[in-house]
Amino acid sequence: MENLDEKIEVHFEKLKESLANENINAFRTNFLDMHPYDQAEFFIEIEPSDRMLIYSYLSPEELAAMMEHIELEDIQPFFVEMDLNYASMVLGEMATDDAVDILNEMDKDKVVSYLTIMDEEEADEIKDLLHYEEKTAGSIMTTEFISVNKTQTVKETMVQLKKEGPDAETIYYLYVVDEEKKLVGVLSLRDLIISDDDVKIAELLNENVFYVSVAEDQEEVAQIMRDYDFLAVPVVDFQKHLLGIITVDDILDVIDEEASEDYSLLAGISDVDRPDINPLTAAKKRLPWLIILLFLGLLTASLIGQFEETLSKVTILSIFIPLIAGMAGNTGTQALAVAVRGLATGEYETDGKFKLILREAGTGLITGTVCGLIITIVIFLWQQNLYLGILVGLSIMATLIIATLAGSLIPLLMHRMNIDPAVASGPFITTINDIISVLIYFGLATTFMGLLL
């Protein structure tokens, strides 16, 4: 890996030298010899003045192949600095679904400008996808696929394949339609190649074809493709007309996007902050959760205030408040992470959810008992007070059992109410468990006050 990095760095230096000398032939030779991912890495790290040279050195088709390897959140500034006509041609050369993803991130007036200048046929393909709701199968599908009619022969299909193959996202699967353009089956490239020329496609196709609705949530599509190891899956409308396909490279992007979204929600923010977001925008995203948590924190403080008399009589109780609250928050967050992950990956059906609750209850009981015993012994040796040790130990045990159950039950309940379970964020669970732990701790302390004095 280190040798590869060194080779790439040497290659980058040669490219920079070519740009500095404005040697177009040397630059094109070295640049186009690289993998598009490495091209994108080089393109991102150079100065804007050097990128302006690249725009004049590369054709729209060559630049489009590289742009598809740049992260969506980073790509918009590059189109802004390009000449409008050149940018429109680059978008036209990109895979339709990738171009749509980029345009969805731009201002509407900018989108209109690009589509107006773009080739009419390419613009129409992009417009067809732009109207689909975001995060659905329709929004991530591509229309660059090969469909064949079931009445065709193998020979006719091979001719079509050679003609349309260069522009298709994948040719490993050929989707078969009838005269009304309805999906009726799928044909592998292998079966096509080994069959006689005069055989009809209807005799070769597999009618057991898996497809998704155009309105299907992208996360559901990702789970289907992961479970069945599909390289591509067809997308149909409610009448089963074939509209497009979703390929595995697009699904990898979806998985990454959904994981980032769940991570940000678990952190209590509406989106993962990007470097280009200004402080005001970032603050607006974080404030709603922080304000909710602020009031929940005030509730916790108010509860502690209700036990002021208990604290005044046994002041040493205050030492262990952070310990009990912290343990509750930690175990609750662990259970939350397990539950959210299981729901996100589809591992828990009805029976699975019940097993999850039982497992987490058992886990809470074991961890609570072990931690409770340990802290009882430690406090007894430290403070020479057995009853205080038992009090804190029992509080820890009860708190960990309830906090573990809360961490798993809250996301399950939200999932049942069709709310994204990831919104049961770590800070939210932590604060709820703070309240629970305070009630348990001081409730037990007040009950057994006579033993502590």
Element housing 22 (H / E) = none
pLDDT of amino acid 337: 75
Q: Of 215, 219, 216, nearest to 346 (Cα)?
A: 219
Determine phi and psi for 238, rounding to 5 degrees: -70, -15
CA distances from 221 to 81, 136, 348, 353 (A): 35, 9, 17, 22
Look up residue 235 and give its two tokens. 């997308």
Q: Which CA distances in Å does 90 have to 33, 84, 249, 366?
A: 20, 10, 20, 60
The answer to whether residue 272 scores a pLDDT higher than 60 is: no
Q: 4 burial class (0-12, 13-18, 19+ CB within 10 angstroms)? A: exposed
Amino acid 1: pLDDT: 46
Give the H or E element holding residue 239.
Answer: none
- 65 Cβ contact partners less than 8 Å away, ≥ 6 residues apart: 36, 93
For residue 270, pLDDT over 60 is answered with no
Q: Dump pLDDT digits (tens) for 110-169.
A: 888 888 888 888 888 888 888 888 888 998 898 888 999 999 999 999 999 999 888 888
Whole-number pLDDT of residue 2: 46
HEC string of 78-134 equals: HHHHCCHHHHHHHHHHCCHHHHHHHHHCCCHHHHHHHHHHCCHHHHHHHHHHHCCCC
Which pLDDT does position 348 carry in this prediction?
62
The structural domains of the chain, ordered by start, are 2-134 (1.25.60.10), 147-247 (3.10.580.10), 279-452 (1.10.357.20)
Distance CA 248, CA 252 (A): 6
Give residue 407's identity as a one-letter amino acid code: G
Residues in the chain: 453
Q: Would you call 420 exposed, middle or buried from its count of C-beta atoms within 10 A (0-12, 13-18, 19+)?
A: middle
Extract the tokens encoding 91: 């978008």
Model pTM score:
0.58
Could you tell me the end-to-end alpha-carbon distance of the chain, in angstroms, rounded to an integer? Answer: 66
- pLDDT tens column, 81-125: 999 999 999 998 988 888 888 888 888 888 888 888 888 888 888
Q: What rounded mean pLDDT belongs to the chain? A: 83
pLDDT of residue 23: 92
Question: Residue 277 pLDDT more than 70?
Answer: no
